[in-house]
Amino acid sequence: MLGYLKETIIFASRKTGKHSSLAHPDSYREVRVSGDVHNFFDLHYVYILYSDLLNRYYIGESENVVKRLKEHNDGYFKSSYTSTVNDWIVYLSIECSDRIQARKIEKHIKSMKSRKYIQNIKEYPELISKLKNKY
């Protein structure tokens, strides 16, 4: 059973995220995973970064928030808004069931265009539950 292997190499579809032991190089990527992988390909996160220097928030989505934070602080995204400073911290991270849900929640938070709304999401965790249920 795949979910109980200690370590394995499996292939994830670039389009659907579903895993398979067979892969075509153009449509699959190789991923090394450890531990339980039942929901490995479904998890995505909406993250909210905060910069003290800019006194601003940035909202994004990713499979790996720690890696994405490092990319923002290292200026990996050269022409992006986040490349102007390197003091970004993770203000909030929301675990989502898949990328589609993460993108919808990210879009919703961005559409609110409100610092207070972002602060309320952190202060009132029930808002996160409502967002997850809605999307």
Q: What tokens were used for 57?
A: 């928030």
Q: What tokens were used for 26?
A: 């153009």
Where is pLDDT greater, at 32 or 72?
Answer: 72
3-state secondary structure of 13: strand
DSSP state of 82: G
Instruction: State pLDDT tens for residues 75-133.
Output: 999 999 999 999 999 999 999 999 999 999 999 999 999 999 999 999 999 999 999 99
Q: What tokens were used for 58?
A: 């940035």
- Burial letters for 85-111: b for 16+ Cβ neighbours within 10 Å, e otherwise? eeebeebbebebeebebbebbbeebee
Taking the C-alpha atoms of residue 54 and residue 67, their distance in angstroms, rounded to an integer, is 21
| Start and end residues for every CATH 3.40.1440 domain found in the chain | 44-134
**Which CATH fold topology does 44-134 show?**
GIY-YIG endonuclease (3.40.1440)
By percentage, how much of the chain surpasses pLDDT 90?
Answer: 69
